[in-house]
Each structure stands twice: as structure tokens, then as C-alpha cells.
């Protein structure tokens, strides 16, 4: 049975591990998430490293809940915590207003995740809400990009099949024309042979008279 450290939480929405839907599960790449978050993943890839995983191979970890305790509110925090929280919140606000690249969004999400894991759960609720929204936005954007790549691949395959179909149609027309030519040639040859046969029969008849 595993014993998790104080404040151990799922890396998706930073919800503490627990029982039932909050139980930690290890996936193929080794990252650990709660049951609830894995059930909500729309695409079977790791939320952190994007490695594909098979739900059938997910390992539910058995933990001793008695050892999971939240951060104590009496734990002294760094004097820079408030400043750090404000800085992250300002960056999220700026990102929402002006946009950002995929790399910038992912980096900011990771910075928020690491920061919030160092403070008690009850602190900075606004930042936690903003973090969850940012994480969800990144998740949706990744899915959108993945679907875009898949759609492009499907479109390219459709174009390839259309081109192959046109080639087959051309070959079919060519074969039909060749067959028609052969048929006409065969018909002409048969007619010529019939004429020769008629002539030969006429000559034979003259010889026998």
C-alpha cells in the first residue's frame, strides 16, 4: 500500500487524491491522475506528456488515506507567495485578453500548477479557478489541434483515393476502347473469312459440276 505525502493531488485540477473517484491511477507513461479526471479525458492521451494510453492497462493505486493530510494553514509561507500569485493571475489575465502561443499557454499552466501545489488548498481560490480554466482551455486547444491534424490526414487520404479512382476510370476507358477495337477487328476478320469461305465453296461447286 502506498503512502502519499501531504497535499498530494491530481496534476490536472490539483484536487487532492482520496477514495473512489479521487483514487490515484497510473497510466502507461507513468503519470498519475485521479479516476475522475481520467474518465473526463476526451482523447486517450496523457494530459501532461500527450503519450497515448490504454484504459485497460490503467493501474489503480492502493493508498493509505490516513497518511493523506492537507497542508496546515499554520505552515509559514514564503513572503513572495502573494506576489507570485498576483503575478500568475496577471499573466493569465493578459493571456485571456491578448492570446498566447501553445508553448506559452502550456508553460503558464505548468507554472501555476507547480505554484499551487506549494500552498494550502484554501489559498488563492481565484488563481485556482483561473488555473482550472486555463488548463481546460489548453486541453480543448490540444484536442482541437489533434483533430485538425487528423482531419487534414483524412482529407489527404480522400484526395489520394480520388486521384486513384480517376486513374482507374482512365484505365477502364482505355481498356473499353481497346476491347471495342479488338471486337471490331474480330468482326471484320470473321466477315472476311466468311467471304473467303463462300468463294471457296462456290469454286468447289464449279469443279464438281
- Cβ contact 126:89 at 8 Å: yes
Query: Distances in Å between the alpha carbon of 108 and those of 32, 88, 91?
Result: 21, 8, 8
pLDDT tens digits, residue range 140-194? 888 888 889 899 999 999 999 999 999 999 999 999 999 999 999 999 999 999 8
- For residue 199, what is its C-alpha cell? 468463294
pLDDT value for 5: 52
What burial class does residue 47 get, using C-beta atoms within 10 Å of its C-beta: 0-12 exposed, 13-18 middle, 19+ buried?
buried
| Residues pairing with 195 in the sheet | none
Of 24, 83, 32, which Cα lies nearest the Cα of 53? Answer: 32
Q: Which tops the pLDDT comparison, 48 or 6?
A: 48
pLDDT tens digits, residue range 3-46? 555 556 787 767 777 777 788 888 888 888 888 888 877 778 88
Asked if residue 107 has pLDDT above 80, the reply is yes
- Cβ contact 88:108 at 8 Å: yes
pLDDT value for 166: 94
pLDDT tens digits, residue range 123-140? 888 998 898 888 888 888
Could you give the angle at the alpha carbon of 86 between the alpha carbons of 127 and 22, nearest 5°? 25
Task: Note the pTM of the prediction, 2 decimals.
Answer: 0.47
Asked if residue 109 has pLDDT above 50, the reply is yes
pLDDT tens digits, residue range 58-102? 888 776 555 444 444 444 455 578 889 999 999 999 988 888 888
What domains can be seen in the chain, in order of their start residue?
1-70 (3.30.40.10)
**In 5-23, which positions are buried (b, 16+ CB within 10 angstroms) versus exposed (e)?**
eebbbbbbbbbbbbeeebb
Amino acid at each position: 500500500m502506498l503512502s502519499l505525502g501531504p497535499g498530494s493531488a491530481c496534476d490536472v485540477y490539483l484536487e487532492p487524491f482520496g477514495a473512489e473517484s479521487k483514487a490515484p491511477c497510473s497510466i502507461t507513461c507513468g503519470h498519475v491522475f485521479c479516476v475522475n479526471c481520467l474518465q473526463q479525458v476526451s482523447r486517450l492521451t496523457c494530459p501532461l506528456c500527450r503519450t497515448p494510453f490504454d484504459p485497460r492497462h490503467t493501474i489503480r493505486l492502493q493508498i493509505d488515506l490516513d497518511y493523506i493530510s492537507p497542508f496546515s494553514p499554520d505552515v509559514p509561507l514564503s513572503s513572495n507567495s502573494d506576489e507570485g500569485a498576483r503575478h500568475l493571475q496577471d499573466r493569465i489575465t493578459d493571456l485571456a485578453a491578448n492570446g498566447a502561443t501553445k508553448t506559452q499557454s502550456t508553460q503558464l499552466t505548468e507554472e501555476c500548477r507547480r505554484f499551487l501545489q506549494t500552498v494550502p488548498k484554501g489559498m488563492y481560490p481565484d488563481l485556482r479557478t483561473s488555473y482550472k480554466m486555463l488548463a481546460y482551455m489548453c486541453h480543448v486547444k490540444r484536442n482541437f489541434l489533434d483533430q485538425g491534424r487528423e482531419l487534414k490526414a483524412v482529407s489527404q487520404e480522400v484526395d489520394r483515393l480520388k486521384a486513384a479512382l480517376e486513374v482507374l476510370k482512365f484505365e477502364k476507358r482505355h481498356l473499353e476502347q481497346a476491347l471495342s477495337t479488338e471486337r471490331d477487328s474480330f468482326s471484320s476478320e470473321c466477315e472476311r473469312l466468311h467471304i473467303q469461305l463462300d468463294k471457296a465453296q462456290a469454286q468447289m461447286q464449279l469443279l464438281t459440276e
